[in-house]
Every structure is written in structure tokens, then in C-alpha cells.
Amino acid sequence: MSVRYRKLLLFSILLILILAAVPVSVKAGSIIGTKFMISQDDAEEIYPAVAYNSERQEYLVVWWFFDLDNGNYNIRAQRLTKDGAMISDPYFITTGGNVVNRDPDITYNRVHDQYLVVWQRSDPSGKSICGRLLSGAGELLGEGDIVIQASAPNYDHREPKVAYAYTDDSYMVVWTQQEISSPDIYTIKAQAVTHTGALGLLTLVSNSDSEYKGYPDIAYNRHMNRHLVVWEAYDTTLNVDVIIGQQIHGDGGTYLGEINFPELSIYDCRNPTVAAIPTAPDMAKFVLAFEKSFDADSDIYGIYLDEDECRPFAFFEFGHSTRDDLYPAVAGNEVSQEYFLIWREEITVMTGIIKGVVLDSSASELGTNYEFLGLNTHNPVVTDGHLSDFLLIWHDSFYAADDHYIFGQLFGNRGYLPLISK
């Protein structure tokens, strides 16, 4: 056997072994394992959020811990491995009495291996938007909370969401501002925050006027270094709830003007959610989903949007013919080039399940009717995770009148190339 042939044979064997150990993405995926309990304390544990740490291959889940008996209204956290196992015990990000810290959101910064958690704080002075930096291991950083938007008389600040802009190395926090007056004035605002916790540019994302606005969401498109912010608003001319959008640059400042969807003007549209796959092969880099109500029935509706002017690229709709479908959440995975869209299907006011669908980045449906069962599953959220995985988080209870707890479920495809031998 020649030296050249032996080298070629050795290279071929090494290549086969490497390929055999590398997971491959297979479209659509499936439910991985069973649902698991993340926290079950003697309190209401609700409104979770989750982010994936790609450097450490783990997740950080945060939620509102609502202990009415002891006056504890704070943000709690739990680290998870990429397989959903607990890393140490749950812990509090916020503490203190005479305040209510609620409605958290979280994002991960892979440049500095840190998280930013944001939430709404209510105290005797009013409602503010606060945040806290955490290390990649979930440790509290800095000397205290970051006041992103201070409270002020006659102002209500609520519903914060956060994303991270990789190119500009900047966080972006969005929220609803309501000025209590006659009439009330609504504005969607955005605040850039550095990895040290310093405040950057403040952006007025929407017009400031008396038309109701609320429930913003945000997704970052690294390909163009822009965020897409979406929110629900009441159109006083059409007398319906509509979805509005606005792109802003990675470190703040608006790009072009507000985005409207006249195709939806005969429906009530609420609770928007948005995600991006910046490496999608065509111009459709965003998926926007929301509740669409018509004839007393609510379904989940969505649009693929191009990355420049956010023009509709394709439409889709899911829902039960007789049940309301509510509270959509969506995440995009660059490895699998798939979105996972989930929502609550309401069986009764006190019972519901979570439904899910996989969408290809090139605007095609890959799999439907995934069901995640529970008694009263509510407020589901989802993030992309390890390789082609997604992690779903929601709150649920064991009995109709029981406290709510935090649950999780992995979804994806963990297929491996077989070891080939002759």
C-alpha cells in the first residue's frame, strides 16, 4: 500500500468519524422527551421569559414570582442545561418590599457572555422600566438595578421587551408609555443600553397621540443591523385593533417610517410577536404573528416580511374552528433555518393547551398540530437553543384553583448521521 493511499484512507476514516458525531438538521423536528417542572413554589409563578446562552450551551429562564401572602412580588430565575436539567437552585434577581417587579424579558449577549433582564417596576412613585445585567453563569453584575425609564407623575411605563444587536454590541429595550391625561397619550419607546449598563440613544418608535398602543415586541436582524419593533394599536378611523411596525437601527434611531398592513384592516389584530432569521436565503428575514379576531373567533395569523421595507412576502393562518387561539410566540433558528410558532388554544376559560407549527425560513409550512398538554397552559414563550433545538416555557397549574408553576419542553431534531462501514 502506497504512502499516498494510506494517507487518503486515514483521511476518509477520520472524516467518517467526524460526520458520525455531528448532529444534522432534519426538517420539522419533534417533541424531545416529556415536559418538565422548572419551579413549583408556594406562590403564583407566571409570565416566564427565556434566553439561550450559546457559549455555555445552557438556558436562563426568568418569571414573575407573586407571593401575595408574604408581599413578595419579584423576578426569579433558573439556569438549565441544553437538555433541560436544573443547574443549581432558583434564585431572585430582584428583592425588596413595597414594590412590584413583574413582566420580565431577557436576552443574551454572546460577545460579553452576559444577559440583560428587564421588567416593569411599580412603587409609590409610579411605574418604571428597570433592568439588571447578569453574567453568563447567571450571577448579578453591577451594584444594582439599571433604571431604564424612571417613573414620573401621570406616566405609566409597562410591557418591556429586549433584544441584543450583535453588530453594534448594544441592547435595545422597548416598552409602552401612557401619559395619563385627557385624553391619554400613548407612545412606544426604545432605549439603547450598553454591556456596562450605560444608557445610549432614546428613540421614539411610534407617534405620540391618543390612539391606544401597547404590547410591543422586538427582533434583531443581524444581516442589516436593524431591529423590527411591532405593537398593537387602535385605529379610530377603521374602529379595529391593528398591528403597526417600525424598524430601528441596532443602536437606536428609526429607519424609514411606520409599517402598516392594510390587508388586515377588517379584522381585530392583537398581541404581536416577531422573530428573525438573518441568514435566511431570500429577502424574507422576519416572521410576524398575532391574534386575528373575526366573527367572535380568534385565530393565529402571520406574515413573512422582507428585511428592507418589511413588505409582506407570504401569509399563513392557523387555528381551531370553534376555539380561541391566543398569545402567540415565535423564535427563529439559524441552524435549522426554521421558525417555531406556538400559541394557547383555549378549551375553556380555565383550561387550555399549547399548539405549535414549524415554518421554513423560505415561507413554507413543515409540520403542524404539535400539542403540549396541561390543565391550563398559559403565556407560552419560546427560544432557539442548542443546534436545531427550541425550548418552550409556560406557566400551568395542577388543579383549576391551584397556584401556577413554570414548565418547560424541548423540541427539535437530534438525529445523527450513521457510522458508515463496509
Contact (CB, 8 A) for 285 and 258: no
Domain count, the chain: 1
Residue with cell 436539567: 85
| Domain annotation covers residue 2 | no
Q: What pLDDT does 243 receive?
A: 96
- HEC sequence for the chain: CCHHHHHHHHHHHHHHHHHHHCECCCCCCEEEEEEEEEECCCCEEEEEEEEEECCCCEEEEEEEEEECCCCEEEEEEEEEECCCCEEEEEEECCCCCCCEEEEEEEEEECCCCEEEEEEEEEECCEEEEEEEEEECCCCECCCCCEEEECCCCCEEEEEEEEEEECCCCEEEEEEEEEECCCCCEEEEEEEEECCCCCEEEEEECCCCECCCEEEEEEEEECCCCEEEEEEEEEECCCCEEEEEEEEEECCCCEEEEEECCHHHCCCEEEEEEEEECCCCCCCEEEEEEEEEEECCEEEEEEEEEECCCCCEEEEEEECCCCCEEEEEEEEEECCCCEEEEEEEEEEECCEEEEEEEEEECCCCEEEEEEEECCCECEEEEEEECCCCCEEEEEEECCCCCCCCEEEEEEEECCCECCCCCC
Q: What is the pLDDT along the chain (422 residues), one digit of tens a residue?
A: 554 545 444 444 444 343 344 444 446 689 999 999 999 888 899 999 999 999 999 999 999 998 877 788 999 999 999 999 999 999 999 987 789 999 999 999 999 999 999 999 999 889 999 999 999 999 999 989 999 999 999 999 999 999 999 999 999 999 999 999 999 999 999 999 999 999 999 999 999 999 999 999 999 999 999 999 999 999 999 999 999 999 999 999 999 999 998 888 788 999 999 999 999 988 889 999 999 998 778 999 999 999 999 999 889 988 877 899 999 999 999 999 999 999 999 998 788 999 999 999 987 776 667 999 888 899 999 999 999 999 999 999 877 657 899 999 999 987 543 333 33
| Domain annotation covers residue 19 | no
CATH of the domain at 341: 2.120.10.10
Q: What pLDDT does 1 receive?
A: 54
Q: What pLDDT does 375 receive?
A: 85
Q: What pLDDT does 19 receive?
A: 38
| Domain annotation covers residue 68 | yes
| Domain annotation covers residue 1 | no
Residue 411 CA: distances (Å) to CA of 138, 342, 354, 371, 389: 24, 11, 13, 11, 6
| Domain annotation covers residue 389 | yes
| Domain annotation covers residue 9 | no
The overall pTM is greater than 0.85: yes
Which among 122, 96, 119, 220 is positioned nearest to 169, based on CA atoms?
A: 220
Q: What pLDDT does 2 receive?
A: 57
| Domain annotation covers residue 70 | yes
Residue with cell 406557566: 395
Q: What pLDDT does 262 receive?
A: 84
- Quote the cell numbers at residue 111: 460577545
| Domain annotation covers residue 21 | no
Which among 373, 374, 372 is positioned nearest to 399, based on CA atoms?
A: 374
Which among 175, 170, 307, 149 is positioned nearest to 252, based on CA atoms?
A: 170
Contact (CB, 8 A) for 343 and 287: no
Q: Which residues pair with 131 in a beta bridge?
A: 118, 146
- Residue 53 belongs to what domain range? 27-412
Cα 302 vs. chain centroid, distance in angstroms?
A: 16
